[in-house]
Structures are given as C-alpha cells and as structure tokens.
Amino acid sequence: MRTAEITRNTNETRIRVVLNLDGTGQQSIDTGVPFLDHMLDQIARHGLIDLEIKAEGDLHIDDHHTVEDVGITLGQAIAAAIGDKKGIMRYGHAYVPLDEALSRVVVDFSGRPGLEFHVPFTRARIGKFDVDLTREFFQGLVNHALISLHVDNLRGKNAHHQCETIFKACGRALRMAIERDPRSQGVVPSTKGVL
C-alpha cells in the first residue's frame, strides 16, 4: 500500500495529512475552510485516494496560510507515498464538465515542480472563499509533490462550477498518473532511469 502520514507545524498552521494512494476515495477533511474541504473531497473521491486532513490555522487573519499550507502538506504526503515511481503511468489528464463549466488538468510526476494555471474566475469570491487562494493551493501542492501540473478552465460562467471542475479534474488526472502500469512493473517511466 502506498501510504503516508505527514505533520507540518508552523507559527501559522498545524496540519496533519494521512493518505492512501490505493484507496477508494474515503475522506475525513476539516481545514476550517469549508469550501476548501468541499474541493479536497473532490480530489479524494475522483482520485480514489483515501484522505484524512486536519488543519488548524490563523483564520482570524485570513484563509491564505491555511489553504497554502494544506497544499504544501498534501504535496509532501503524495511525494512520500509515491516513492521511487517505479511502475506508475506517470502522466495523467482529465477533462471534467459541470453544467456550463469545463476544465482540463494534465499532470506529470516528473520530479520537477511546475504550475501553469489558467483559470479566469468570473468573480473574486465563492461565498467567503477568495478565489486567488486556489492558485496558492496548487502552487504549494506542485512544489512539494514535485509534479508538473497544467490547469486550464476552458469555459465557465459560475465561479463555483469553474473551481469544482478543476479540483475534480485534478483528482482524475492524479488517479491516472499514479496507476500501476502492468506492462512496466518495477521500471521507472523515464529514459533517465530516475524521476
């Protein structure tokens, strides 16, 4: 089983992430940011990743540190659980619609962090959630999971739908990339021999 447990404590946040990459999408998520909880549920369910997240942060200031640090800690957990990447598919992609919105996410477990994020949100807030924090979450995730991630919202009028499609597509793309390739068991999917 490809599992990890990461605890990250700073002066701003205290976060614990437990995950199983070979799960069924079970989740228990409490970050103190309800909309983020809803989005992380999408990654767990659509990625078939069992995910437990407990975060306490300086929400009296704003949600920024908590959202970013959850991304960082989740990225660290993914990196720890994936290990040497032998036998994985490495690449994953997904298109996900939700009513009028459509997003595409493409991931490469390259060992090199990189984020291309192109989401023209139609409003600045989804309820109380600042949409700028979406990018901050994904930046923390890619920096610490050591993945390349391309996130594109291709169309959408409702900001909630736009955001939900990118998190669902992220889950689906991760699921594809971390799947074991029965034709290359024990082989690192790179001409370098290491990722």
Do 70 and 133 meet the contact criterion of CB atoms below 8 Å apart?
Answer: no
Within a domain: residue 188?
no
Q: What is the CATH number of the domain that holds 42?
A: 3.30.230.40
Spatial distance between the Cα atoms of 162 and 149, rounded to a whole number of angstroms: 17
Residue 190 lies in a domain: no
189 inside domain: no
- As a whole number, the mean pLDDT across the chain is 98
- DSSP letter at 23 equals S
The pair of structure tokens assigned to 94 is: 């997904």
Torsion, Cα of 36, 40, 45, 47 (10° steps): 150
Q: Is residue 34 part of a domain?
A: yes
- What pLDDT was estimated at residue 94? 99
DSSP character string of 96-132: EEETTEEEEEEEE--SS-EEEEE---SSSEETTEETH
Q: Is residue 191 part of a domain?
A: no
Residue 38 belongs to what H/E stretch?
helix 34-47
The model's pLDDT over 29-64, given as tens digits with 9 standing for 90+, comes to: 999 999 999 999 999 999 999 999 999 999 999 999
In a domain, 131, yes or no: yes
Does the pTM surpass 0.95? The reply is yes
The answer to whether residue 144 sits within a structural domain is: yes
Based on the structure, what is the number of domains in the chain?
Answer: 1
Summarised one tens digit per residue, pLDDT across range 139-170 is 999 999 999 999 999 999 999 999 999 999 99
Whether residue 193 is contained in a domain is answered as: no
Give the separation between CA 187 and CA 5, rounded to whole angstroms: 25
Tens of pLDDT, residue by residue over 84-108, are 999 999 999 999 999 999 999 999 9
Tell me which residue range forms the domain holding 110. Answer: 3-178
